[in-house]
């Protein structure tokens, strides 16, 4: 009976240590997964914000171009010189926002839009120059030629805004899921770590108690 007791104690202790080792590995995995999901959350949130910013720049570019277009038509019809600074101001802001959108980047083909947008801007300058010189027929003809290009760019900008917003929404949804997963993993890590701590404490206490018992002289 005594031999069995002596051999069973090391075996039990070995199993306990093995269990704690596995528990430590599980805890490490939980912590690593928590960090990973946290990184995914930050990455996707940043990307979503970037796409939202690009969409905002494009939206503003389209709005400013939409304001400039009727002013150009009005100028060609009336020749009112007061309209020229307004046209130039809105066109400049539109180009600046388009450049900012390109600089921010996105999934839409902004290079094509930029090329066509520059063409529209140059066309506006030509129309203004022709009207200022008093050549109304040429200015009207140039405006007529430019209108389809302007409408095409406007359509492409609208489509790009939609595309960027959809991408931002998808990334934000992914970021929210990662954040939720990270929160649950953190809770699991805390609970598992606490349980593991209790196990370690119990093992240490048992070991110390065993040493004290072994050192106590037998009275039997």
Domains and CATH numbers, the chain: 44-173 (1.20.120)
**Sequence-ordered list of residues with C-beta below 8 angstroms from that of 147, at least 6 positions apart, any chain:** none
pLDDT band at 20 (very low <50, low <70, confident <90, very high): low
Inter-residue contact 147 to 19 (CB < 8 Å): no
> DSSP states of 159-212 as a string?
HHHHHHHHHHHHHHHHHHHHHHHHHHHHHHHHHHHHHHHHHHHHHHHHHHHHHH
Inter-residue contact 52 to 175 (CB < 8 Å): no
Long-range contacts of 170-174 (CB under 8 A, 24+ apart): 171/44, 171/45, 171/47, 171/48, 171/51, 172/44, 172/45, 172/48, 174/40, 174/44
Q: Among 157, 166, 74, 63, which Cα is nearest to 109's?
A: 157
Q: Which single residue is written with the structure tokens 């203004």?
A: 128
Question: What DSSP designation does 220 have?
Answer: -
In whole angstroms, give the CA distance from residue 61 to residue 172.
24
pLDDT at 209 over 90: no
Inter-residue contact 100 to 92 (CB < 8 Å): no
User: pLDDT tens digits for 44-81?
Assistant: 888 888 899 999 999 999 999 899 999 999 999 999 99
> Which two structure tokens, joined as six digits, stand for 66?
């939409």
In whole angstroms, give the CA distance from residue 92 to residue 98.
10
Instruction: For the chain, give the percent of residues with pLDDT over 90.
Output: 33
pLDDT at 199 over 80: no
User: pLDDT tens digits for 110-162?
Assistant: 888 888 888 888 898 899 999 999 899 999 999 999 989 889 989 999 999 99
């Amino acid at each position: 009976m005594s031999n069995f007791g002596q051999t069973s104690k090391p075996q039990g202790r070995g199993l306990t240590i093995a269990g704690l080792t596995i528990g430590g590995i599980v805890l490490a995995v939980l912590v690593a997964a928590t960090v990973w999901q946290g990184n995914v959350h930050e990455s996707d949130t940043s990307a979503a914000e970037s796409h939202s910013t690009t969409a905002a720049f494009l939206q503003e570019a389209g709005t400013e171009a939409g304001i400039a277009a009727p002013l150009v038509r009005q100028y060609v019809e009336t020749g009112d010189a007061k309209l020229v600074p307004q046209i130039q101001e809105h066109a400049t802001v539109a180009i600046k926002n388009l450049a900012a959108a390109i600089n921010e980047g996105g999934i839409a083909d902004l290079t094509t839009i930029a090329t066509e947008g520059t063409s529209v801007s140059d066309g506006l300058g030509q129309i203004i120059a022709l009207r200022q010189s008093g050549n109304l027929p040429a200015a009207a003809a140039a405006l007529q030629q430019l209108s389809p290009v302007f409408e095409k760019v406007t359509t492409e900008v609208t489509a790009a805004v939609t595309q960027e917003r959809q991408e931002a929404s998808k990334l934000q949804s992914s970021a929210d899921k990662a954040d939720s997963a990270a929160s649950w993993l953190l809770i699991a890590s805390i609970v598992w770590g606490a349980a593991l701590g209790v196990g370690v404490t119990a093992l240490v206490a048992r070991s110390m108690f065993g040493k004290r018992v072994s050192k106590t002289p037998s009275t039997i």
